[in-house]
Amino acid sequence: MEASGIRKRILRLLVEIAFEDAGLAHACNNGSARRARFGDGGSTALLRRLGQMSAAYHLADLRHVAAARLRPASNGDCFTLLVSLGPHGDLVLRPRDDPPPTHDDGTLNEHAVRAVIVTAIYRP
């Protein structure tokens, strides 16, 4: 018997977040390392944004979080995206799938992206 309704929504997988290297993963996932590297405000913003990302069903759900300001990076790669951390900088991420899911016109299909890799944190 297949799950239906609210049970089906609960059983759906959420966005998986991976990190490009162990140092970045440690800085993002360890509370004291996060505060030491990004300060109290940056640490709180980063933790909140990672929580919002991991609670989303797909990358396109971040479009509904106004503070996230999901947008393409200015490096010309249409698969590299920025997620705002407010005045503390931006998360730089890309889809984990290779090749990334695309629409017929070659643009990223954000509704099909269920796993991302955080490649860097840009701080102004």
Q: In angstroms, rounded to a whole number, what is the distance separating the alpha carbons of residues 83 and 69?
A: 6
What is the reported pLDDT for 74?
Answer: 87
Which residues pair with residue 102 across a beta bridge? 108
Q: Is residue 1 part of a domain?
A: no
What is the reported pLDDT for 1?
Answer: 45
Domain count within the chain: 1
**Sequential pLDDT tens for the chain (124 residues):** 455 555 555 556 789 999 999 999 999 999 999 999 999 999 999 999 999 999 999 999 999 999 999 999 988 788 999 999 999 999 999 999 999 999 999 899 999 999 999 999 998 8
User: In this structure, what CATH number is given to the domain that contains residue 25?
Assistant: 3.30.2310.20
Q: Is residue 100 part of a domain?
A: yes
Which residues pair with residue 17 across a beta bridge? 116
Q: In angstroms, rounded to a whole number, what is the distance separating the alpha carbons of residues 27 and 34?
A: 5
What is the reported pLDDT for 43?
Answer: 96
Do 20 and 117 form a contact (C-beta atoms < 8 A)? yes
Do 6 and 47 form a contact (C-beta atoms < 8 A)? no
Do 54 and 17 form a contact (C-beta atoms < 8 A)? yes
Range of the domain at 74: 10-122
